Structures are given as C-alpha cells and as structure tokens.
Amino acid sequence: MTATKQKRSMVRRAQFALEGALNMVFGNGLNPLYYLGALGFFFFWVVVISGAYIYAFYKTGIELSYPSVEYLTNEQWYFGGVMRSLHRYASDALVLVMALHLLREYIMGRYRGARWFAWFTGVLLIWLIFAAGINGYWMVWDKLAQFSTVSTVEWLDWLPIFSEPMSRSFVTQEVLNDRFFSLISFAHVTLPLFILFLLWVHIMRISKPVVNPSRGLATWMLLALLVLSLVEPALSQGPADMALEPTNLNIDWFYLFIYPLLDAWTAGQVWALVIGSTLLLAVLPWLPPRFKNIPVPEIHLNDCSGCRLCVADCPYEAVIMRPRSDGMHFAEEAVVIADRCVSCGICAGACPSSNPFRGEEDYMSGIEMPSITMSGLRTSLRSDLEKLSGRVRLLVVGCDNAVSVLQLQSASVAAISLPCIAMLPPSFIEFALHEHHVDGVLISGCRAGDCYHRLGVLWTEQRLAGKREPRLRSRAERKRIKLFWSVSLDIKELESELESFRASLTSNQTLTKVREER
C-alpha cells in the first residue's frame, strides 16, 4: 500500500468511526452526515424564506439601509429579528454542511469518472454561495459591511481591469453613491436564483437525489437554529461611516475569513490563493492517480425486452430507452450513456435475463458488465460452491466499497465481491440455496443510508423483500438469508455476524428439515 493510500484509508476509518458513532445516536435514517447535501438544500430554503421576510422591510439607500435593519432587530425582535438571525445562521450552516459534504465526497473518492459533473458544478456553487453571503453582509451597511466592501473593492482594484480605481467611490461619505445600494440589493435577489439553478444542474445526473433531509432531522435542525436565534440574535455593528476606519470587528468566519487574510497578504497573493485553489478543486477529478474505471455495461439486444428495469434502478440516469432499432416486436431498447455511468453494475442486477437458471452455458444478459458477465459469475460461483465442505456451508456476497468479504473465504464459506451489492440478481441467491444446497447466504454491503453507489442497499432490500423487481422468489427461504450492512471497515464485525448467522442456522430446525428433505 502506498503512503497516500494508507493515509486515505486512515482518514476513511476515522470518517467511518465518526459516522458509526452518530449512527448509534441517531440511527441511520437521521444521521446528519448521511444527509449533508440534503441539509444544504434545507438550509438554502430556510435562508430563502427568512430572507423574503426581511427583504420586505429592507430599504435601499445610504441613509436608509442601516436603520431599516435596526428596526427589524430592535422594534420587531420577536419576529423580524428572529427572521434576521435565522437568515444569518442558516447561511452559516449552509457553508458548514457544504464544506463537510465536499470533504466527505472527496474522502470517499466520489468525484472521479462520471461523477466529475456533480463535483465540478459543486465548485461553481462555492463561488456563488460565498458571493451571495458576502453580498448579504453588505446589505446591513454597518461597520462590518463597510470593512468588507472597502476590502473587496480594493481587492478587485488590483486586477488590471479598471483604469480609475473603484475604491475612489468609497473614500468619503460624500462620494458614496445610492446606485451601489441598488446594485447590491438587486444582486442579493439574483444570486440565490443562480444558486438554485446551479443546484438543479448539480443533481441533474443523479437519479432520485435526496434533496430533503428526513422530517425529524429537518425539524430538529430548525429548532436548534431558532433557539440560537433567540439566545444570540444577529446584531449590526454600528452604522458605516466612511470617515472612520473600522477597528475591532466581530467577523463571521464562515463567510468573511478572506478579509483578515487580505490585511495580512497582498491582494495579488490572495488572488493567487483563491484562483489557485479553485482551479485545483475544479481539476481534481482528472488529477493522478488515474481513475481506473471498470468498463461500462453493454446492451445485448437479443436479450433486451425493453422492460425498463435497468432504467428504473440506475442511480445516475445513465441508462435511457430509445425506439427499437433491431426490428424485434418490443417498443423500446435500453442504451447506456457511457459519460454518466459509474460502472456499479446495478443495471445488470436488475435485468430479468440475468438469470442463473438459464440453460445456455455462455448466455448473455440484456445488459452486462463486460468485465463481470452473469454467465461468468455463475461459472465461478458454481466452482466455488462445489468445493465447499463442512456442516454448515455458507455463501457471502459483498461489495467492493465496503469491508472486503473475500477475507472470509474458508472451507465452508464461499465469498464473492461485486462492484455494488445490487449487481447481484436475487435469482442468484435462490440458485445458491436450491441448486447448490448452501445452508445460508449472507449479503453484505455499504451501510444503510450510505451506499457508495447511492441506491444499491435500498434496491437490494426491496428486491429481497419482494417489493421491487426483480423480486426474490418465495421458495428461497428468508430464514436462510441474512442482510448485514457493515458499520465499519473492520472485518471483525462481519466475522462475528457470520458466526452468529452460522449458529442460528445450526440451531435452526429448518436446516435439519431441509437437510432431511435433500
């Protein structure tokens, strides 16, 4: 293992430990770290709604803006003031969850290959969100606004664009222009519209994106921010006065951290830092080490009936339907859009023709991963299962993105690992139980609520529960199937799960009964 890989896996372990702890406290459904993107949307909406209210009272003008915000804070503290505080704190929370969301996708490596699109649009979102937030602080036109405005304009003046420095328009109270206030007040409505548009683009290539946190999580988050708003209302820091340089300031470090840096560094250095880190982030999906993408699935029209199951299950909208091109009597056929595909194989697991009970030796499914075909999977499964010995013989199927199940292989345990657990067609479980007489099948994968390929865990649960096509048939006894979504990268947990499964099978009367029948 290289040093960077080792470091990365350490970071992932730490992430898993933290998320595991929160799972214990919240349960997977409420774990905030599983809903960072959704929380981002939620805080965005809180900002929009609270903002709409305070905007109704906001007055645009050098002498008007500050008093209009003060009125809300003091005269109308019970509602307008609370709305102002919510507006500020939800904006801060938005930056916080955005940063964590970015970090998490990075640590999990979910930004390469086809995922570049969400990553790249995410980088653009950072700019827009900071622009809107900083713009918001200017609206108040207090000392903090003055400090931030003057610094920004000085920073912009460094660029060789303007022959007369814009800063000259902010030097004294007399030269200050009302048009500036019209501009920022207009921008403060327009920027969020751009953000909303970009958010829509951000999740455009994601099917069934989670844009709302669960109701419990949303309610508690909102309550928490409300309490904060009442305990620590957002306040202004005295009216701006261009004749006086602001001295001590209470800075919102979520949005305004760049300004102290502008005091310490030259404008050019800060430009280099900001542009440099943006560029670095933007090209990250293409930087080495080269992303080894598993070849994307192929369609075999002879076995494609146009049933749309692969379209329904693809987590990245990478399979679409088009009119039939081969003259068969079906209306449509599936097509894979390679640019959007993350090679999870879920589509192959969804295809009804991925059936191990089929007669032909080298059969093809309607949609197949070229590197792991269904007939190939059947062949290797067969040979593994035939070698099994011992009183209780088990099959473990896992996924490449969670703890590696291959470590569990032994004389009585066969193990296979797939790119995603939902690549496993349920009929393979039935096949192992009935054709090969294994005593139990343990299905493992990423943690519930946190599938690497987004929907694999959910689809597997639903298929096995008979709630989603392709369903697991009822002749595969549920007692002999166990689902276990591991909570850590620690193999011990999975081992002990396997042992308790084995024990339950041994003590299980069904096992003896089935044996006798055989």
Partner 1 sequence: MPKPLQYMGQVLFYLLFVVVIGFFSTSPTYTHLPPDETLIKLSFSHAGQHVGACRERTPEELAKLPQYQRKVTTVCPRERSDVVVELELDGKKLYHVVMKPAGFSRSGNSNIYRRIPVKAGKHTLKARLKDHDGDDYNYVRDETVNLVAGRIMVIEFKAETGGFIFKNHAS
| CB-CB neighbours of 431 under 10 Å | 22
Q: How far apart are CA 138 and CA 185, in angstroms?
A: 9
Q: Which stretch binds ligand HEM (CB under 6 A): 1-9, 175-183, 204-212, 271-279?
A: 204-212
Look at residues 137, 134, 136 and name the one whose alpha carbon lies nearest to residue 145: 137
Shortest distance, position 226 Cβ to partner 1, whole Å: 10
Compare residues 219 and 302 and give the one whose CB is closer to partner 1: 219
The answer to whether 191 touches 128, Cβ cutoff 8 Å, is yes
Any idea which residue has 């209210």 for tokens? Answer: 53
Nearer to ligand HEM, 118 or 457 (CB): 118
CB neighbourhood size of 386 (10 A): 9
Sole window of 38-46, 61-69, 167-175, 288-296 interacting with ligand HEM (rule: CB under 6 A): 38-46
Question: How crowded is residue 348: how many other Cβ atoms within 10 Å of its Cβ?
Answer: 29
What 3-state class would DSSP assign to 14? Answer: helix
Member of 38, 367, 413, 511 binding ligand HEM (CB under 6 A): 38
Q: Which residues pair with 372 in a beta bridge?
A: 369
Binding test (CB under 8 A) with partner 1, winner from 64, 96, 301, 335: 96
Q: Which two tokens stand for residue 323?
A: 């009119």
Q: Do the strands 394-399 and 413-418 form a parallel or antiparallel pair, or are they unpaired? A: parallel
> Distance (Å, rounded) from C-alpha 213 to C-alpha 85?
22
Regarding beta strands 332-336 and 319-323, do their DSSP bridges make them parallel or antiparallel, or are they unpaired? antiparallel
With respect to ligand HEM, which residue has the nearer C-beta, 202 or 393?
202
| Closer residue to ligand HEM (CB): 83 or 118 | 118
> Shortest distance, CB of residue 243 to partner 1, whole angstroms?
5
Binding mask 482-511 for partner 1 (x = CB under 8 A): ------------------------------
The length of the chain, given as a count of residues: 518
CB of 453 to partner 1, least distance (A): 28
When asked if residue 42 is in the footprint of ligand HEM (CB under 6 A), the reply is no
Considering CB distances under 5 to 8 angstroms, the limit depending on partner class, which of partner 1, ligand HEM, none binds residue 224? partner 1
Q: Could you tell me the CA-to-CA distances from 383 to 114, 173, 378, 388, 436 in Å, in that order? A: 35, 85, 9, 9, 10
Q: Which is nearer to ligand HEM, 109 or 233 (CB)?
A: 109
Determine, following the binding rule CB under 6 A, whether residue 274 of this chain makes contact with ligand HEM: no
Only one of the segments 160-168, 179-187, 433-441, 469-477 lies at the binding site for partner 1 (rule: CB under 8 A); that segment is 160-168
Residue 267: alpha-carbon gap to chain centroid: 35
Spatial distance between the Cα atoms of 480 and 510, rounded to a whole number of angstroms:
9
- Which residue, 145 or 311, is less far from ligand HEM as judged by CB? 311
Kindly tell me which of 90 and 372 has the beta carbon lying closer to partner 1. 90
Measuring CA to CA, which residue among 470, 390, 490, 377 is closest to residue 432?
Answer: 377
Contact of 404 with 423, CB cutoff 8 Å: no
**Taking every pair of C-alpha atoms in the chain, what is the biggest distance, in angstroms?**
98
Q: Is 111 helix (H, G, I), strand (E, B) or coil?
A: coil
Under rule CB under 6 A, residue 211 binds ligand HEM: yes
Q: Does 125 bind ligand HEM (CB under 6 A)?
A: yes
Q: By CB under 8 A, name the binding residues for partner 1.
A: 22, 24-27, 32, 88-89, 92-93, 96, 147, 154, 157, 163-165, 167-168, 171-172, 220-221, 223-225, 227-228, 231-232, 234, 242-254, 259-260, 263
Q: By CB under 6 A, name the binding residues for ligand HEM.
A: 37-38, 40-41, 94, 98, 101-102, 105, 110-111, 115, 118-119, 122-123, 125-126, 129, 199, 202-203, 206, 209-211, 454
